[in-house]
Structures are given as C-alpha cells and as structure tokens.
Amino acid sequence: MRNTATHGFTLLELLVALAVFAIMAAAAYSGLRSVLFTHATLEQENRRLAAVQLTVFRFEQDIEQIVSRGIRDEYGEPQPALRGGELLNETLTLTRAGWDNPLGQPRANLQRVAYQLREGQLWRLHWNVLDLGGPVKPQELLLLDQIREFRVRFLDRSDAWRNDWPPPASSTAGDSLPPDPNALPRAVEITLVLEDWGAITRLLPLAG
C-alpha cells in the first residue's frame, strides 16, 4: 500500500501571506477612508452652500417687497419704513408686503422684519403686528452662522451711497420741505463676510 503525505503551508509562507494581506488591507482602508472623508466634506459644503443661498434668497424677498409704511414702536414713537446702519442693534429693519396668510388669520399682509448679527450668527426677526403698542416679542429664525461681519449700504435717489438710512434731516438743509422719514432708497447692498468663504456682496434694487 502506497503512503501519500499531506503537505501544508510552511511558517514562512503563512507569514508572507499575512504580510501581503496586511498591506492590501491597509491600502484598501486608506482608500475607503479618503473616499468617506471626501464625501463628508462635500456634504458639509453642500449644506453650507444651501444655507448661504437661502439667506440671500430671504434678503431678496424682503428687500424687493419693501413698502413705504412706517410703524410705531412699543413706546408709541414713529419709526421709518426702512432703517439700517452698523450702529443699530438690528443692522437692517424694514416693512415688507406679500406676507402669505394661508390660514386666513385676522392680520395684515404687511410684515415688520429685521436682521440682526449676534455672536457670529445672523438672525431674521419678524413681528406679527406692525404698530407694537407695547412690548411684543418677535419671532426669530437662525439663517446662517460663522459670520464675521454684516454690512449694508443704501443707494439714494441722487445715486450716492449711504451707510445708514434714513438720511438725517441735516443732509437736506436748504430744502423747502423736510425729508420724508418713509422715503426709500433705489437699492440696498448687502455684504456678509463669512469665516470660511470670505465676503459675499449682493446689490438688491427696490421695486419702482
């Protein structure tokens, strides 16, 4: 009877096979990790881009529908239809038309809106009433974060740029009539300086 010997792998062959497998596994993991990191980065950039686009869209909607309708604040003092400037608590405040009312609530279709930068976050505020008549808490919506600066400029009817609105009465000295506090500029320029993307500027003309 003939004996047949069963030959297995030697220790050296096992070590070589394990070394090759380890190298291939490390290369595969590195490639997979790179793909996952790239995908996560793209997702984050896409979310950031969507947030920036939505913020600009909000500005466009509000500014294009500004109306010359001033209000009275909680102290009964008249406030202009449009107010803006770097020294104000709300950098931009306005009255806009076109406030949708799908539920048919007993309210006007005009809305008082403000934009405020707090600790690197841009907030949109709106009030459910125009003339406050007392302390009324606004509704707040966070639009965008990682913001270094939020600036506005106003193009007046003489094609001059202003950093605040409405213009002071002294700027029209000699005119026969005092300036209209609810007068509107020709356009509003919005500048957002982002921590990651730098400055984004939009020039938004007013209707009419």
Of the two residues 100 and 173, the one the predictor is more confident about is 100
Average pLDDT of span 186-193:
97
Could you tell me if residue 148 is left (phi over 0), alpha (psi between -120 and 50 degrees) or otherwise beta? Answer: alpha
Contact 136, 74 (CB under 8 A): yes
Which pLDDT does position 105 carry in this prediction? 64
pLDDT digits (tens, 9 = 90+) for 10-34: 777 777 777 787 788 777 777 777 7
Average pLDDT of span 190-197:
95
pLDDT digits (tens, 9 = 90+) for 123-143: 999 998 898 877 889 999 999
With a CB cutoff of 8 Å and minimum separation 6, the contacts of 125 are 90, 113, 114, 115, 116, 138, 139, 140, 141
Is residue 180 assigned to a domain? yes
Which pLDDT does position 18 carry in this prediction? 78
- Residue 19: strand, helix, or coil: helix
Which pLDDT does position 76 carry in this prediction? 87
Is residue 95 assigned to a domain? yes
How does strand 161-162 pair with strand 187-194?
unpaired
CATH number of 92's domain: 3.10.610.10
Which pLDDT does position 172 carry in this prediction? 46
Of the two residues 148 and 11, the one the predictor is more confident about is 148
Is residue 176 assigned to a domain? yes
pLDDT surpasses 60 at 180: yes
| Number of compact structural domains in the chain | 1
- Residue 204: strand, helix, or coil: strand
Which pLDDT does position 132 carry in this prediction? 85
Average pLDDT of span 33-41:
72
pLDDT digits (tens, 9 = 90+) for 90-112: 999 999 997 766 666 656 789 99
pLDDT surpasses 90 at 116: yes
Report residue 199's pLDDT band, with 50, 70 and 90 as the boundaries.
very high
- What is the rounded average pLDDT for all residues in the chain? 85
Is residue 143 assigned to a domain? yes
Average pLDDT of span 112-130:
95
Is residue 51 assigned to a domain? no
Which pLDDT does position 6 carry in this prediction? 56
Strand segments, DSSP code E, in the chain are: 71-72, 78-79, 82-84, 92-96, 111-118, 121-127, 139-144, 147-155, 161-162, 187-194, 198-205
Is residue 23 assigned to a domain? no
Domain residues for 168?
57-205
Is residue 150 assigned to a domain? yes
Is residue 39 assigned to a domain? no
Report residue 173's pLDDT band, with 50, 70 and 90 as the boundaries.
very low
